[in-house]
Structure 1
Amino acid sequence: MSAEHAPHIPGLELVRPLGSGGYADVYLYEQQSPRMNVAVKVLKREGLTAAIRRQFVDEANTMAQLADHPYIVQVFRSEQTADGGAYLVMKYYPPPNLAVRSRTDRMTVEEVLRTGIQLASAVETAHRAGIIHRDIKPANVLVSQYGQPGLTDFGIAGRGGHAEDVDEDVGVSVPWSPPEVLYGQSNGDSRSDVYSLAATLWHLLVGRSPFEQPGGDNSAYALMPRIRAVPVPPTGRADVPVSLERLLSHAMAKKPDSRPQTALELARGLQAVEQEQRLPRTPVVVLDEEGNTAVAALPAAGRPELDHDRTMVRTPTSVAVPEPPRPARPVEAEDEEDAPTTISGGVLLAVVGVLLVGLVGALVWALGRDEGTPEAQPTASVRTQGGAPTRAIDYPEQPALDARSGSGSVTFTWNYVGVEEGDFFQVRVADSESEVVDAEVTTVKDAARHTVAAADGALVCAQVTVSRKSGLTSPRSAIRCQSAG
């Protein structure tokens, strides 16, 4: 690419080219007022079709709709030129993107978990707006000068999973795409974005895409059969916990129904790994059904063992009781013991009001102490930026599932953070991983284990969910398979 093809844009001065993609070039400009750097994505003239031009306009509209999210690249404006070209003016993120960085730097597990939760927040927000990204990959994750990721390139995003949403000539990025998209069974939905996000995190841990073979044939035609049939390989890193390996494998399951069904479910699984590793909890930032910001609670300062996975929802703001007014004239006394005990009538009324409010609050609290009701379970309160307390929901953590073979049986056991009295479990068991999601549910109480009778050598697969009396459930565990005998 060359600077000579960069358009003249009023109010912007060209600095230098930044990079080139399939149908667009990206340049660094300096905006004159207010003065700041911006990135400008410009449509290439060669090979330009009506479909690509429409796709470019759709990208601008989609990113603008999601621009308030902290982990989605902001679009400032979009213009179509008189000669049929077009450009986007976006927030500038300095190089490198995560694809370039992962080739040279070894990202820590903590950093990958944090990035995954932040990107899952962005993806969940897009999904709640009815937008499927369809091209999540390391190259489409930029990094701000403050280290925050920015998801970009919504060029082939669409609304829903229907083939008519995208033109036939729009391609996908094979190494990070799920089997159902590569083989034309789906045009993408929330579960395909979950797969691509998990493949991206695997890439960040290893430095290459999950099914790429170093030194082997890694063309699209060689990768596609591996993606469809080969199990997700382990990362091979000793510092990657087993729980994270399982979660990524679960999220890249071959069948869409076997994956976490939402980006939020994947984010909670990543948070559970953070807590297991005693890492600071990364908040999930999404919009609730009413368009308000809902944020997963941050850890209690210095007390990670007390932290639980919570997604905050808005409740009525509590009313703060003002302190009683001070007397109009100062009290004169030799010392505190000699101070007069009489107060004015207005102050007395204020004090009585405060006492009555306190007594009513105590009575309500006492009546709610019946341990047999869900309302009696303690929930934490955290404060929003405005200072108003917001109730938090105690979701059970995603369980980690293990399996042990025995003579004529397989025993599954599981554990999870934040065990509460009365928790019970929903277990699905089948003869293969793909059949687990449709298997009959067995309820298990009193013990975090379940033994399945099977002929020696027979494969048994299972998945478990934690349930509470309140009706809340955990994300489903990764599917675990083991042969009997």
Structure 2
Amino acid sequence: MTRAAPDAAPDIPGLVYRQPLGSGGYADVFLYEQQQPRMPVAVKVLKREGLTPTILRQFVDEANTMAQLADHPYIVQVFRSETLPDGGAYLVMKYYPPPNLATRAKRERLSVEEVLRTGIQLASAVETAHRAGITHRDIKPANVLISQYGAPGLTDFGIAGRAVGQEEHDEDVGVSVPWSPPEVLYGQSNGDARSDVYSLAATLWHLLVGRSPFEQPGGDNSAYSLMPRIRATPVPQTGRADVPLSLERLLGHAMAKKPDTRPQTAIDLARALQAIEQEQRFARTPIVVLDESGHTTVADSRGQAAPEHTDPDRTSVRAPTVTSAQSYAPGPASRPATTETDEGPPPTTISGGALLAGIGVLMVLLVGTVVWAIGFRGGDEPSDLATDAPSASVTGGQGEPVVDIPQDVAIDGRSVSGGVTFLWNYAGVRKGDFYRMRIAASEAEVAQAEVTTVRKLPHTVPAKSGASVCAQVAVARAAGATSAYSPIKCVKGG
């Protein structure tokens, strides 16, 4: 017997209503069964109560946006959408069985390997949206569904924005506070690629811990309490012994208070996550993105050797499959080469006596990648690196960079007449090193302080007697490599 649809679930030709799936602020989601071909589908239906032209327009934009990105394996596929005679609307999507990632993170402890894999897959989806000129603006665990094969599906593009030069709405952007960056919460930005990077990193932190980064168990976690913490409090450690320091640093770097000091693109974040996979000897997760021609390709990180069957005069890009990105790193047999090209130098065929030399080059590249990945963040302080992305200071084989990043910066200070003098030390001092300092009147204000370039130490900051001066420092090199910031040191002026 066909189950009758409730009042909120519309009668849709070719679909039979089965049951409710969930409800949000402005829409309900129901399970239907498509009749030809027979399969379950999820139908998102606008609520009639409180419906405004703005909400309806956002709903239509969501349908168009998701349809534009529907071919991506980690974005929920849209089959059709329609506006109803009474002014409502519905959206028919691929069905993902419960639970979503928010529910899973509450129920179980996700492994580091799964979180890294999920992060790379979601970063692939986000990068693809960005290349299409679309900013998601609401990335959070509840907006990540999981297919029956374990693949994530990014959904809810209802408040997605278009890049500059395309149509943009004038209304205020609704946000999900716990996973949103400071510049969006405080109205300095409506969101861009760097804000999506922040939200994705906050989502991964949530998956590791089971709550959002600045939520305090048992404390006041209202929006008004969370917002100042997000703006001024350093990103906390996950507290998990199995989370490597490199991942702690990367998440802190990606949730930096200032957008300019985060990874600037989702694919940068994906490649950093891949480097941690390599460091931990986990199975490799491919990065699936749209290439410059608009074709979906698998773009692995730079410096990877091609399979033996690949044409040695070009770099291979493999055709994407959902299975290959789940729990193992596909070999040549499961990832056929295409004629697309990827970034990085062409692979060199190694044979005979050159084999040992080739292995040596690969080891140099691996070490360089791991050093780059673990150098993002140290301690609990915000990691707003005030420099461009690291560039090569030593060159390995095939022209690949091996970045030499200063480590373990420690800062100290003492009161002097008329101010405070700061000194610091770190491992691997090199001629030509210079320094980025952030100085403020309190520890909470340091993260938002302007960066001062210092060429020599010690460095004295003028201050009235008894006035507090707080500072932290990062070491920079002419080649572009920059350390994580030191812990914050506060001293009262003499």
Same fold, judged at TM 0.5 (above): yes
Which of 404, 424, 436 pairs up with 1:429?
436
Deviations 1:358-406 (A, max 9, x none): xxxxxxxxxxxxxxxxxxxxxxx98962466966516863252432457
**Matched letter for residue 18 of structure 1:** L
2:408 aligns with: 402
Q: Does 1:267 align with 2:270?
A: yes
2:336 aligns with: 385
Q: Which range moves more in the overlay, 138-147 or 283-292?
A: 283-292
Aligned to 1:431, the other structure's residue is in SS state strand
Which of 272, 277, 280 pairs up with 2:280?
277
Q: 1:390 to 1:80 in 2, by over 3 A?
A: closer
2:231 aligns with: 228
User: Matches of residues 252-263 of structure 1 in structure 2 within 5 Å?
Assistant: 252-263=255-266
For residues 484 and 217 of structure 1, the distance between their equivalents in structure 2, rounded to whole angstroms, comes to 28
Deviations 1:460-483 (A, max 9, x none): 42266896xxxxx88x76544465
1:179 aligns with: 182
**Matched letter for residue 459 of structure 1:** A
Aligned to 2:156, the other structure's residue is in SS state coil
Q: Which has the larger radius of gyration?
A: 1
Q: 1:227 to 1:161 in 2, by over 3 A?
A: farther
8 Å Cα contact 1:142/1:151 also seen in 2: yes
2:425 aligns with: 411
Q: Does 1:107 align with 2:72?
A: no
8 Å Cα contact 1:234/1:245 also seen in 2: yes
**Matched letter for residue 31 of structure 2:** L
For residues 413 and 114 of structure 1, the distance between their equivalents in structure 2, rounded to whole angstroms, comes to 32
Which of 85, 89, 112 pairs up with 1:86?
89
8 Å Cα contact 1:162/1:186 also seen in 2: no
8 Å Cα contact 2:411/2:472 also seen in 1: no
Q: Which range moves more in the overlay, 399-408 or 275-284?
A: 399-408
1:295 aligns with: 298
State the superposition RMSD in angstroms: 3.7
For residues 163 and 389 of structure 1, the distance between their equivalents in structure 2, rounded to whole angstroms, comes to 29
For residues 448 and 433 of structure 2, the distance between their equivalents in structure 1, rounded to whole angstroms, comes to 16
8 Å Cα contact 1:112/1:205 also seen in 2: yes
User: Matches of residues 440-479 of structure 1 in structure 2 within 5 Å?
Assistant: 453-454=458-459, 459-462=471-474, 478-479=484-485
For residues 413 and 9 of structure 1, the distance between their equivalents in structure 2, rounded to whole angstroms, comes to 67
Q: Does 1:168 align with 2:174?
A: no
Aligned to 2:31, the other structure's residue is in SS state strand
Q: Which range moves more in the overlay, 94-103 or 250-259?
A: 250-259
For residues 36 and 107 of structure 1, the distance between their equivalents in structure 2, rounded to whole angstroms, comes to 30
Which of 123, 127, 138 pairs up with 2:126?
123
For residues 152 and 309 of structure 1, the distance between their equivalents in structure 2, rounded to whole angstroms, comes to 32
Question: Any stretches of 5+ residues in structure 2 without a counterpart?
Answer: 315-330, 346-364, 376-406, 414-421, 440-445, 462-468
2:401 aligns with: none
Which of 215, 222, 230 pairs up with 1:219?
222
1:69 aligns with: 72
Deviations 1:218-275 (A, max 9, x none): 1111111111111111111111111111111111111111211111111111112111
**Matched letter for residue 411 of structure 1:** N
Aligned to 2:145, the other structure's residue is in SS state strand
Q: 1:484 to 1:114 in 2, by over 3 A?
A: same
2:388 aligns with: none
Alpha-carbon deviation of 1:429? 2.1
Percent identity, aligned pairs only, is 64
Q: 1:277 to 1:465 in 2, by over 3 A?
A: farther
Alpha-carbon deviation of 1:319? 9.4
For residues 393 and 286 of structure 1, the distance between their equivalents in structure 2, rounded to whole angstroms, comes to 16
- Give the aligned length: 391
Q: Does 1:194 align with 2:201?
A: no
For residues 270 and 480 of structure 1, the distance between their equivalents in structure 2, rounded to whole angstroms, comes to 23
State the TM-score, normalizing by the size of structure 1.
0.71
For residues 30 and 309 of structure 1, the distance between their equivalents in structure 2, rounded to whole angstroms, comes to 46
For residues 434 and 213 of structure 1, the distance between their equivalents in structure 2, rounded to whole angstroms, comes to 20
Which of 134, 137, 148 pairs up with 1:134?
137
Q: 1:202 to 1:184 in 2, by over 3 A?
A: same
8 Å Cα contact 1:410/1:483 also seen in 2: no
8 Å Cα contact 2:438/2:452 also seen in 1: no
Which of 248, 253, 259 pairs up with 1:250?
253
For residues 78 and 123 of structure 1, the distance between their equivalents in structure 2, rounded to whole angstroms, comes to 23
Deviations 1:312-345 (A, max 9, x none): 9xxx97799xxxxxxxxxxxxxxxxxxxxxxxxx
Alpha-carbon deviation of 1:279? 1.3
Q: 1:437 to 1:64 in 2, by over 3 A?
A: farther
Deviations 1:288-324 (A, max 9, x none): 22223342338xxxxxxxxx65599xxx97799xxxx
Aligned to 2:473, the other structure's residue is in SS state strand
**Matched letter for residue 262 of structure 1:** T
Alpha-carbon deviation of 1:41? 0.4
**Matched letter for residue 473 of structure 2:** C
State the TM-score, normalizing by the size of structure 2.
0.70
8 Å Cα contact 1:454/1:460 also seen in 2: no
For residues 11 and 162 of structure 2, the distance between their equivalents in structure 1, rounded to whole angstroms, comes to 33
8 Å Cα contact 2:299/2:342 also seen in 1: no
Q: 1:193 to 1:8 in 2, by over 3 A?
A: same
**Matched letter for residue 462 of structure 1:** A
Deviations 1:103-132 (A, max 9, x none): 111001111111111111111111111100
Q: Which range moves more in the overlay, 288-297 or 383-392?
A: 383-392
2:147 aligns with: 144
**Matched letter for residue 409 of structure 2:** A
2:99 aligns with: 96
8 Å Cα contact 1:404/1:412 also seen in 2: yes
Alpha-carbon deviation of 1:428? 5.5
